[in-house]
Structure 1
Amino acid sequence: MVNPATSTWDSEAVSVLQRMWGAGNSASVIAAAMHRSRNAVIGKVVRMKLQRANGWPVTMKARTASQTRTKALSSRTEPARPVSYLKARDFHCHAVLDQRGADGLRMRCGARRLKGASWCQAHYLAYFNHSRSP
Structure 2
Amino acid sequence: MHATHDPAAAAAPAIGFDDFLKVDIRVGTIVEALPFPEARNPAFKLLIDFGPVIGIKKSSAQITTRYAIEDLVGRQVAAVVNFPPRQIGKFMSEVLTLGFPDAEGEVVLFAPDQAVPNGGRLF
TM range (shorter): under 0.3
Normalised by the size of structure 1, how large is the TM-score?
Answer: 0.22
Q: Give the structure with the larger strand fraction.
A: 2
Relative contact order: is structure 1 or structure 2 higher (C-alpha 8 Å, sep ≥ 6)?
2
Greater fraction of residues in helix: 1
TM-score, normalised relative to structure 2: 0.24
When Rg is computed on C-alpha atoms for both structures, the one with the higher figure is 1
